[in-house]
């Protein structure tokens, strides 16, 4: 199913890794296509270290949101192993799964869709505490006010409904809800994408403050690579169900090893007219192939500017191996040669 | 200086709602020269889209242009009758929107929709229009245009749909193309393709462009001049390089520093603008930006500044101006209002007894 995996370049102490994804697959069967499936996540290896922010980037349909749902045990894996704090969460059921879920929370893109319009903000924030039976009723009420204050909202807003808040305030409520159970790990899935720039900056700063205060580990998923670079310690790039490159945030931007990473980075306009006049984006030909039937060999070869196809690139799938900087891995036969 | 194509003078567009009168566009003046690319930036609700819709007289109910002039090649759009306005839309000015899927008819073939845009305006005969469809799709670089004209919108990807929309916009060779967040819904690599395409079209056809966006990077990439809007007003205007180099209005300055740059390692915190944009029914007295402005002085609270020249070709609506701002205020704004706010909440929360868990 996939090329042999190699050891990462830097041996990170096992206790430093909070979450490890090993050869994870998620296939969604397509009815009426005779056993065909959308290969949303197609053999992913990834580690998230304690206290870091790992940025996950890639274009629509590359599988990043599905991967987030596997990691938070909201979807079962088709195959593979995901360990959180040393426990394989793909095997957990019932109460033990609930206990793990308490430690991992999610913040979603659309603060309009992810809050129940018929619940007051107080109820929304108290619900997780009720579900897990945390503290006395009085304690829960105090905790709700504390959470509101923590995300910069007026603690007396508990009786208001989501529609009474602006988009940025609603995203703060989403963040407060994620914090309610004292998680150690939060997945932010396009958490700032729907917000206006000045509000986006407020939320980004808030996420950074909260991380420092509570030693949180973030998986930050976004398509805005500038925001990802600003927030992340390390960055993983996905293409068509696979991680194609992972590295330190500055290494990946300064010395991308995979031609897809390079193209992705060169596509982003910079808010500086002088830079823009000189910038020559690498334009990729064509579009992302169907995840039902990904290309043979390296799945990027159909759009790759340096691919040797027919040849090694169309025949052999490259493994994620050390290239470039110390903590950098890339899955490309000609890594760094673009 | 080129010939002035569009001149908007003191435009007011208001929405008459049960809550009161929403002053969405509140005295906007701007102009576009032939062949020029103008960026109109600002956040949601600043009036940039309503300004564009006003130019086309497409303001939705319960909105209305209440005063002002919109001169296109000297003719006042606000005074055109139904036939004239139909002729004006499409032939003189075309508009493309953010979401190409909702602007295309899902049950009609792409080719026919582009053809219809031409026959409806009677610029091209039916026979000629048919022939031009493939040529237009080729011009916007849709591969295999000959076969794809027979496709329906759902058979096109997001990027291809936006190309088809641009082809439709260009069908009648308008002098001005208004693009409202044309790349916001697209993936970055596709976005790069569309930006490239718009640059080429502007060069090849000399079509003037009014780009409405919240994305400063897009403005830097595509535009020659930029208009910054806040709360229904123009707060700053000037050549792109000058505005990016030395913005004089605190709102422009904050906008430019609130977005991280992909080509730079993380340095400072992002500048976040405290508070929220004003309610346009009851907007603040004085300068509309004063409640959120880090450089506010007493005069800002009572008297609204005029749009005054601050440098050659550059105007700004501010009593203070960034070049006169005190350095300690600039530094304070850079560390951002939120860190103070967060520090206070964290302190307050410590008093309540820490973050108690299970």
Cβ within 8 Å of B, A 38-97:
59-60
Q: How far apart are alpha carbons A44 and A244 in whole angstroms?
A: 9
Residues B178-199 have a mean pLDDT of: 85
Q: Checking phi first, is residue B348 left (phi over 0); if not, alpha (psi -120 to 50) or beta?
A: alpha
Q: Do B346 and A197 touch (CB under 8 A)?
A: no
Q: Which residues of B touch A229 (CB under 8 A)?
A: 260, 262, 265-266
Residues B175-202 have a mean pLDDT of: 86
Q: Which residue of B has its CA nearest to A249?
A: B265
Q: Give the phi and the psi of residue B327 in degrees, each rounded to 5.
A: -60, -40
Question: Is the pLDDT score of B340 beyond 70?
Answer: no
Report percent pLDDT > 90 for chain A: 61
Name the residue with higher pLDDT: A29 or B157. A29
Which residues, given as ranges, of chain A have pLDDT below 70? 1-11, 33, 338
Residues B311-339 have a mean pLDDT of: 84
Do A152 and B341 contact (CB within 8 A), yes or no? yes
pLDDT at residue A217 in the model: 97
Taking the mean position of all CA atoms in its chain, how far away is CA B229? 9
pLDDT at residue A33 in the model: 67
Q: Does A325 touch chain B (CB under 8 A)?
A: no
pLDDT at residue A1 in the model: 40
Average pLDDT, chain B: 87
The pLDDT-based confidence of B56 (bands split at 50, 70, 90) is very high
Sign of the dihedral through C-alpha A15, A225, B41, B168: negative
The pLDDT-based confidence of B351 (bands split at 50, 70, 90) is very low
The pLDDT-based confidence of B231 (bands split at 50, 70, 90) is very high
Supply the DSSP string of B192-243, one letter for each residue: HHHHHHHHHHHHHH--EEEEEES-HHHHHHH-SEEEEEETTEEEEEEEHHHH
pLDDT at residue A75 in the model: 93
Q: Please give the ipTM for the structure prediction.
A: 0.80
Residues B201-223 have a mean pLDDT of: 92
Residue B66 half-sphere exposure toward CB, CA atoms < 13 A: 15
pTM: 0.85
Structure tokens at A178: 């994620």
Residues B143-170 have a mean pLDDT of: 88
From A146's Cα to the closest Cα of chain B, the distance in A is 6
**A60, A197, A204: residue with CB nearest B187:** A60
Q: How many CB atoms lie within 10 A of CB B324?
A: 11
Q: How far apart are alpha carbons A176 and A111 in whole angstroms?
A: 12
pLDDT at residue A313 in the model: 94
Q: Which residue of B has its CA nearest to A281?
A: B192
Q: Identify the residue whose tokens are 């036939």.
A: B83
pLDDT at residue B337 in the model: 46
Q: Which residue of A has its CA nearest to B261?
A: A226
Q: How many CB atoms lie within 10 A of CB A96?
A: 12
pLDDT tens-digit readout, B275-299: 878 888 888 999 999 999 999 999 9
Q: How far apart are alpha carbons A192 and A208 in whole angstroms?
A: 13
Q: Do B241 and A273 touch (CB under 8 A)?
A: yes
Selected for mutation to probe chain A from B188, B247, B255 (highest A CB count within 10 Å) is: B188
Do B342 and B350 contact (CB within 8 A), yes or no? no
């Amino acid at each position: 199913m996939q090329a042999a995996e190699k050891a990462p370049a830097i041996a990170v102490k096992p206790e430093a890794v909070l979450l490890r994804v090993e050869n994870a697959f998620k296939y969604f069967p397509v009815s009426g296509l005779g056993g065909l499936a959308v290969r949303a996540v197609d053999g992913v290896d990834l580690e998230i270290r304690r206290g870091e922010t790992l940025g996950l980037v890639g274009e629509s349909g590359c599988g990043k949101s599905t991967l987030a749902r596997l990691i938070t045990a909201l979807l079962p894996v088709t195959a593979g192993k995901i360990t959180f704090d040393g426990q394989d969460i793909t095997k957990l059921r019932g109460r033990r799964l609930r206990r793990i879920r308490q430690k991992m929370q999610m913040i979603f893109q659309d603060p309009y869709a992810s809050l129940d319009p018929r619940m007051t903000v107080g109820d929304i924030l108290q619900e997780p505490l009720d579900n897990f039976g945390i503290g006395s009723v009085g304690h829960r009420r105090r905790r709700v006010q504390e959470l509101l204050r923590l995300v910069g909202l007026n603690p007396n807003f508990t009786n208001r409904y989501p529609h009474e808040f602006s988009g940025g305030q609603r995203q703060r409520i989403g963040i407060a809800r994620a914090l309610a159970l004292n998680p150690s790990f939060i997945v932010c899935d396009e958490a700032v994408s729907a917000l206006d720039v000045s509000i986006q900056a407020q939320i980004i700063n808030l996420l950074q403050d909260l991380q420092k205060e509570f030693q949180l580990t973030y998986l930050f998923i976004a398509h805005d690579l500038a925001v990802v670079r600003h927030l992340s310690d390390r960055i993983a790039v996905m293409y068509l169900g696979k991680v194609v490159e992972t590295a330190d945030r500055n290494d990946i931007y300064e010395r991308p090893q995979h031609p897809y990473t390079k193209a992705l980075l060169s596509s982003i306009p910079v808010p500086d007219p002088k830079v823009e006049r000189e910038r020559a984006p690498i334009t990729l030909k064509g579009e992302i192939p169907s995840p039902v039937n990904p290309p043979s060999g390296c799945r990027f070869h159909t759009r790759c500017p340096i691919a040797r196809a027919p040849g090694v690139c169309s025949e052999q799938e490259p493994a994620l191996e050390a290239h470039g900087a110390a903590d950098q891995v890339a899955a490309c036969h000609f890594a760094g040669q673009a | 200086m080129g010939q002035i194509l569009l001149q908007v003078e003191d435009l007011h567009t208001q929405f008459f709602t049960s809550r009161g009168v929403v002053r969405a566009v509140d005295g906007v003046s701007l102009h576009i020269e032939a062949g020029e690319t103008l960026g109109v930036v600002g956040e949601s609700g600043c009036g940039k889209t309503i300004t564009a819709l006003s130019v086309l007289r497409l303001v939705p109910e319960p909105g209305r242009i209440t005063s002002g002039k919109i001169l296109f090649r000297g003719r006042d759009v606000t005074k055109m009758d139904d036939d004239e306005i139909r002729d004006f839309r499409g032939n003189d000015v075309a508009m493309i929107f953010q979401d190409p899927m909702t602007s295309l008819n899902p049950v009609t073939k792409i080719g026919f929709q582009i053809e219809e845009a031409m026959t409806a305006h009677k610029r091209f005969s039916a026979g000629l229009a048919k022939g031009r469809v493939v040529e237009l799709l080729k011009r916007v670089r849709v591969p295999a245009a000959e076969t794809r004209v027979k496709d329906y919108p759902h058979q096109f990807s997001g990027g291809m749909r936006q190309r088809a929309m641009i082809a439709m916009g260009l069908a009648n060779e308008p002098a001005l193309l208004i693009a409202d967040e044309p790349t916001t819904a697209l993936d970055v690599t596709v976005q790069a393709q569309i930006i490239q395409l718009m640059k080429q079209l502007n060069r090849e056809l000399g079509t003037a462009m009014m780009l409405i966006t919240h994305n400063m990077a897009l403005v830097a990439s595509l535009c020659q001049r930029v208009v910054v809007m806040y709360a229904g007003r123009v707060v700053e205007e000037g050549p792109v390089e000058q505005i990016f180099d030395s913005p004089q209005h605190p709102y422009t300055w904050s906008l430019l520093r609130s977005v991280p740059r992909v080509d730079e390692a993380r340095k400072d915190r992002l500048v976040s603008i405290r508070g929220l944009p004003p309610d346009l029914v009851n907007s603040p007295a004085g300068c509309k930006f004063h409640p959120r402005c880090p450089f506010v002085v007493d005069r800002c609270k009572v008297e609204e500044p005029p749009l005054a020249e601050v440098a050659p070709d550059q105007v700004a609506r501010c009593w203070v101006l960034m070049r006169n701002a005190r350095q300690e205020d600039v530094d304070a704004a850079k560390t951002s209002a939120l860190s103070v706010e967060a520090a206070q909440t964290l302190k307050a929360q410590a008093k309540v007894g820490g973050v108690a868990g299970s």
